[in-house]
Structure 1
Amino acid sequence: MEQKKVLVTGGAGFLGSHLCQRLVDQGHDVLCVDNFFTGSKNNVLSLLGKPNFELMRHDVTFPLYVEVDQIYNLACPASPVHYQFDPVQTTKTSVHGAINVLGLAKRVKARILQASTSEVYGDPEIHPQPETYRGRVNTFGPRACYDEGKRCAETLFHDYEQQHDLSIRVMRIFNTYGPHMHPNDGRVVSNFIVQALKNEPITLYGDGSQTRSFCYVDDLIDGMMAMMALEEDKTGPVNVGNPDEYSIRELAEKIVALTGSKSEITYRPLPQDDPTQRCPDITKAKKLLNWQPSTKLEEGLAKTISYFDQLLKISG
């Protein structure tokens, strides 16, 4: 395999750290860039000191001048708790960040992949969601800073491809979970696991009948790297996620069972614009990338529970 210089923005985050590990293991020269708003040096601790890994504190809303062959743009807080903390900055990260990394890719003629999101579909009217579905997003809602920021980033990627003949890749990531998730990020898997391990009440919003699909991080990184490696002129967007669908109540019950927790399930009102269902149509990923997830939910949850168990013991 040819060694490449690879830039990963948001590289110390949940997904970014797993991607950096995979790229370093394959012998690529990796530059990990992060402003550490939600990312953590602990996520890439095992990579520090390796000759083909470099860590840089930098915010993608400012230009970056480096020489690279490939760029993975993963920089943006992805959980409601974090992206709603400073919604203006969230939009800037998606939009200004896209402009800056695309400008870099244009200058150095690098292939660039945008980590987009299933949130571009909003609260969908069709199910499961194919890439042709244009979405139903509330531009004034509390999730809009993330949803619309990512939608605008996709537009920028497309326009840079058309206008500047850039080699782009756009993948829409559905719910992903695994080690290195932030323990306080407000996402259901991390929330439920932490609450269960502490024997605290598990918080369900609404009646728990809303559905999600959960993709284990290793499978997701497989799809992401397959997308970048694609030599054909196929830019996406491509859905990458697990089409197996579970209700939020089912997820909570599985986690209670796997942890042996004494936690009881409690119910709170459903937040505004929270999607009632979310599931990817991965027909395109199967055909284009020869990709589909292989990790069963129970297997992935067991690994994630083990990670959080260790994390909680260390933090006391």
Structure 2
Amino acid sequence: MNKTWSLADDLEDVFQRSASVWAELRGARIFLTGGTGFIGCWLLETLRHADLALDLDIKVSILTRDAARFSQKAPHLVEHSSFEFIEGDIIDFAFPKQDYSHVIHAATDASAHLNEFEPDRMFNVIVDGTRRALDLAVEKKAKRFFLLSSGAIYGQQPAEMHHAVETFLGSLDCTNPRNAYAEGKRAAEMLSAIYGRKHDLNIVTARIFTLLGPYMPLDTHFAAGNFILDAMNGQGIVVKGNGRPRRSYLYAGDLAVWLWHILVHGAKGKAYNVGSDEDISIAELATCVSRTIGTGETTVLGANDTGWNAGRYVPDTTLVRTELDLHATVPLEEAIRRTALWNGWHHA
């Protein structure tokens, strides 16, 4: 266990494992939506690190609703000379005048509250935002459009399916408004496929499952983040539900490596699962977090799980391993520890 870990260690690791990517991105002009969120921050952090090391002659335009707010969160990213921040909303932002070689569409409000109480808005933002990003890619004649989708498009995994493979057609109930986020992501993938055929747009997709790492908010609807926050505060971890849903957690450093490789080396028109294939129940996760950084105390209250997916949410990652030779390298316990350290936890 590396007790002296810092984020710089992860950035250097991503840099070293992505050498073939940086060579291909030299001179790139990238438009990035969702660049100020959890995943976007990792893309910017790792790209900045590579640019400082190699002087890549890149330019990145990052769409944001509030550049000043992000400047308080990550001033070093805002001040990086290769990055420019453009204020606007994903569904109607004005197209910049310059051309772009790559469009990375990572913008999605994954708010559980929005999905529950304003599913129409959730669906529309996903679909209309994707259409706007696609229109930009067409107008600017981008050579690559990278859609960050979600493993939610598969819906409820059948009990006998331990890992969802990319060829699984899904089991979403389109009569249930709670599936607005998942159906929106499915529609975004379909819209991208349509644009790909109609405009000969080079599209690749990442279907992202559950993640863990620095920049992940600890106080929203993500169970792992909530558990880490409670453990950091010296509290026992309480699982309100029955603890049976099963998830897997890919560390954000591995995520960044995978996304950069998929952007550059992924096959045109393909979708790749992005996540860990090592699953754990929510109850087991609570115990793991508490033992790693907390008091070791966990309580499972046993209420019926009312979340969007009470079963398994675990990807099959055979495709990304065999085609792109990508692998998860950070164990769950270490991912928990690094996330806590980045958020100010001090180990004994």
Structure 1 203/78 Cα, relative in aligned 2: closer, same or farther at 3 Å?
A: farther
* Offset from partner CA, 1:43-70 (integer Å, 9 cap, x none): 4322122111122222111143123211
**Greater Cα offset, 294-303 or 77-86:** 77-86
Matched, 1:165 2:200: yes
Structure 1 157/143 Cα, relative in aligned 2: closer, same or farther at 3 Å?
A: same
Paired position in structure 2 for 1:247: 281
Matched, 1:185 2:220: yes
Contact 2:283–2:300 (CA<8 Å) still a contact in 1? Answer: no
Structure 1 81/193 Cα, relative in aligned 2: closer, same or farther at 3 Å?
A: farther
Paired position in structure 1 for 2:269: 235
Paired position in structure 2 for 1:25: 49
Structure 1: gaps (5+ residues)? 312-316
Contact 1:43–1:180 (CA<8 Å) still a contact in 2? Answer: no
**Greater Cα offset, 141-150 or 199-208:** 199-208
| Pairwise CA distance, 1:203 | 3.6
Using the size of structure 1 for normalisation, the TM-score is 0.91
Structure 1 56/272 Cα, relative in aligned 2: closer, same or farther at 3 Å?
A: same
| Pairwise CA distance, 1:262 | 6.4
| Pairwise CA distance, 1:270 | 0.6
* Identical counterparts, % of pairs: 27
Structure 2: gaps (5+ residues)? 1-22, 52-57
Paired position in structure 2 for 1:3: 27
* Number of residue equivalences: 309
* Offset from partner CA, 1:134-153 (integer Å, 9 cap, x none): 11112243531210100000
Q: 2-side partners of 1:25 and 1:19: how far apart?
A: 10
| Pairwise CA distance, 1:32 | 1.6
Paired position in structure 1 for 2:37: 13
Give the alignment partner of residue 153 of structure 2, picking from 99, 114, 120: 120
Contact 1:176–1:215 (CA<8 Å) still a contact in 2? Answer: yes
Contact 1:14–1:180 (CA<8 Å) still a contact in 2? Answer: yes
Paired position in structure 2 for 1:102: 134
| Pairwise CA distance, 1:83 | 4.0
Contact 1:130–1:239 (CA<8 Å) still a contact in 2? Answer: yes
Q: Which has the larger radius of gyration?
A: 2
SS at 2:86's partner residue?
A: strand
Structure 1 283/3 Cα, relative in aligned 2: closer, same or farther at 3 Å?
A: same
Paired position in structure 1 for 2:5: none
Structure 1 42/145 Cα, relative in aligned 2: closer, same or farther at 3 Å?
A: farther
Q: 1-side partners of 2:110 and 2:70: how far apart?
A: 14
Q: 1-side partners of 2:285 and 2:177: how far apart?
A: 25
Structure 1 158/89 Cα, relative in aligned 2: closer, same or farther at 3 Å?
A: same
SS at 1:59's partner residue?
A: coil
* Structure 1 moving runs of 4+ over 4 Å: 39-43
